């Protein structure tokens, strides 16, 4: 069994986990999430913890135990605390604003780009350049952040574009600086 798959999943107070065969539903103060787990994997509730167990000893099932443990743990943490990702819009004249469920990005194109946020993801914009995305579903949050970043990826010369907060962009020297 994988090392991650062996670790128990702590269930905090206020979070309920319902296991119905291969369907897992986690409900907490921030909402509820459900997921269908693979048939080779079994989830066992023991007091205030959950254990992931494999039904056989194959290599693939061993890998799925670690994956299932991570996915279910993310569900438990999401309904309890939630997840957050921050994006930075960098460039002269680049700005963003949110209105309802639509994120509007002015990132150097002739027209503003309107991005409809999926259900379950909330956005807030600070100082027109810092986008904060929040969700209880870590997978959906990461996918949404990646799609927003793909609208205008950071370029290596001036660093203009949309990047994750704390992301390092390897800068290149320009044409004039390279000739010296």
Could you please report the per-residue DSSP string of 142-168?
HHHHHHHHHHSPPPTTT--EEEETT--
Per-residue pLDDT at 179 exceeds 70: no
Q: What is the 3-state secondary structure (H, E, C) of 82-132?
A: CEEEEEEEECCCCEEEEECCEEEEECCCCCCEEEECCCCCEEEEECCCEEE
Sequence-distant (≥ 6) Cβ neighbours of residue 22 within 8 angstroms: 36, 37, 38, 39
Which tokens in the block code for residue 151? 């609208």
Supply the pLDDT for residue 84: 92
Give the phi and the psi of residue 129 in degrees, each rounded to 5.
-125, -10
**How many whole angstroms separate alpha carbon 54 and alpha carbon 97?**
47
Largest Cα separation within the chain, whole Å, is 68
Per-residue pLDDT at 60 exceeds 60: yes
Sequence-distant (≥ 6) Cβ neighbours of residue 28 within 8 angstroms: 12, 14, 15, 16, 76, 78, 79, 80
**Mean pLDDT of all residues in 20-49:** 87
Supply the pLDDT for residue 180: 63
Supply the pLDDT for residue 166: 83
**Mean pLDDT of all residues in 19-32:** 87
Residue among 140, 88, 19 at smallest CA distance from 96 = 88
**How many whole angstroms separate alpha carbon 179 and alpha carbon 167?**
29
Domains of the chain, earliest start first:
3-80 (3.90.930.12), 83-164 (3.90.930.12)
Which tokens in the block code for residue 48? 């205030």
What does the DSSP 8-state code read for residue 11? -
Contacts 24+ apart (CB under 8 A), 139-143: 139/71, 139/74, 141/83, 141/84, 141/85, 142/85
Supply the pLDDT for residue 86: 92
| 67-121 pLDDT, tens digit each | 888 998 999 989 888 899 999 888 888 888 888 888 888 888 888 889 889 998 8
Per-residue pLDDT at 44 exceeds 60: yes
**Mean pLDDT of all residues in 21-32:** 88
If one compares 41 and 2, the residue with the highest pLDDT of the two is 41
Per-residue pLDDT at 150 exceeds 80: yes
- Specify the range with the lowest mean pLDDT, choosing from 111-120, 123-132, 164-173: 164-173
- Quote the mean pLDDT of the chain: 86
């Amino acid at each position: 069994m994988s090392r991650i798959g062996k670790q128990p999943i702590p269930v905090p107070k206020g979070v309920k986990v319902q296991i119905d065969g291969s369907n897992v539903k986690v409900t907490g103060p921030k909402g509820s999430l459900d997921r269908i787990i693979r048939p080779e994997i079994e989830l066992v509730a023991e007091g205030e913890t959950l254990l992931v167990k494999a039904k056989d000893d194959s290599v693939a099932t061993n890998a799925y135990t670690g994956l299932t443990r991570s996915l279910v743990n993310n569900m438990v943490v999401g309904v309890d605390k939630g997840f957050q990702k921050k994006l930075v819009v960098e460039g002269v004249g680049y700005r963003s604003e949110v209105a309802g469920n639509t994120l509007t990005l002015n990132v150097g194109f002739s027209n503003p780009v309107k991005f409809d946020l999926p259900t379950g993801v909330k956005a807030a914009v600070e100082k027109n350049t810092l986008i904060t995305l929040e969700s209880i579903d870590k997978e959906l949050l990461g996918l949404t952040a990646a799609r927003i970043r793909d609208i205008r990826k950071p370029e290596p010369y001036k660093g203009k574009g949309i990047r994750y907060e704390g992301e390092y962009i390897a800068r290149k020297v320009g044409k004039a600086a390279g000739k010296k």
